[in-house]
Structure 1
Amino acid sequence: MTAQPDAMRWSPPAVLVGLAWAGAAGAATWCWLLISGGADPAGRLLAGVAAVLLFTAAIFGTVARPRLVAEAAGVTVRGLRGAQHHPWPRVRAIRVMRIRRFGREVPMLELDVLDDDGRERLLVFGRLDLGDDPDAVAEALTRASQHR
């Protein structure tokens, strides 16, 4: 993916990625202390699971930057397995869905895209993926798709 000056980029907030790395290091240290101190198996398991989850979140937040890029040719989505580009003609729909979580509505950006082999895929992004309001991102993507 070549960087274009007029491209719009959305990524997980750098502060949160840094906190995930710090939390992962802390959880790994906690796990090591519990293992070396002969703590109970349940505590070691809990610390191990916390360390693995935080390391996974930190790696994902680092590798998948920028998470979503919109440019004149289409959108590019980054994940753990690299970047996938979807030209605008293959972006079938851009919408924001509202999901009730923990007693409040949470907006989620959804993109319906066609893969290279013609299979339809649903890509879902939340505020943590984008580092911005999904409604604002949907509006920007809609404008960009109309100017292709």
Structure 2
Amino acid sequence: MDETSGSLQWRVPAGLPAAKLAGAVLLVALGLLFADGDPVRVAVAVLAAVALAGWAVRDLVAPVRLAVDPAGLTVIQGFAGRRLLPWSAVETIAVDRRPRLGLTSETLEIDAGSSLHLFGRYDLGATPEEVAAALRAARPVS
């Protein structure tokens, strides 16, 4: 969480894009190492690496996923765009917990009526529960 000029921001953890880029390089290396001359294996490894690298680039270009200020919430939209959700448009702020494979995943859900915005721990750099509490505290009382 960053506090900048009266607003709070949540961003992708700094090491995550580097890990994704390292994974992309590893995919290409493994694809070349285990291809055995098969161009399809190399192509699949390269395509997967390009997708992973594109995901890392998004983290570098638009690291801030969610911000809050007195006007409302600013959420990421599309690849690297931003969208302001005025407080009047925000219907609910909730945390969805789901058990899966012995682990519990948490997702921050911001329901703005015509749109639903979902954020995980690695989008925010904090637990969804902490962010939900901060958003509820920042919401003006009407």
Name the TM-score, length of structure 2 as normaliser.
0.83
TM-aligned CA deviation for residue 99 of structure 1? 1.5
TM-aligned CA deviation for residue 4 of structure 1? 4.9
What letter matches 1:90 in structure 2?
A
Q: Which residue of 1 aligns with 2:16?
A: 16
What letter matches 1:110 in structure 2?
E
What letter matches 1:104 in structure 2?
L
Matched residues, number: 138
How does 1:83-98 map onto structure 2 within 5 Å?
Answer: 83-98=82-97
Change in 2 beyond 3 A, CA 1:19/1:9: same
Gaps of 5+ in 1: 115-119
Change in 2 beyond 3 A, CA 1:63/1:101: farther
Change in 2 beyond 3 A, CA 1:7/1:147: farther
Identity of aligned residues (%): 36
* Structure 2 residue 63 is the aligned partner of structure 1 residue 65: yes
TM-aligned CA deviation for residue 53 of structure 1? 2.5
SS of corresponding position for 1:146 = coil
Q: Which residue of 1 aligns with 2:133?
A: 139
TM-aligned CA deviation for residue 101 of structure 1? 2.4
Change in 2 beyond 3 A, CA 1:96/1:17: same
Name the TM-score, length of structure 1 as normaliser.
0.80
TM-aligned CA deviation for residue 28 of structure 1? 4.2
Alpha-carbon distance in 1 for matches of 2:40, 2:101: 28
What letter matches 2:96 in structure 1?
M
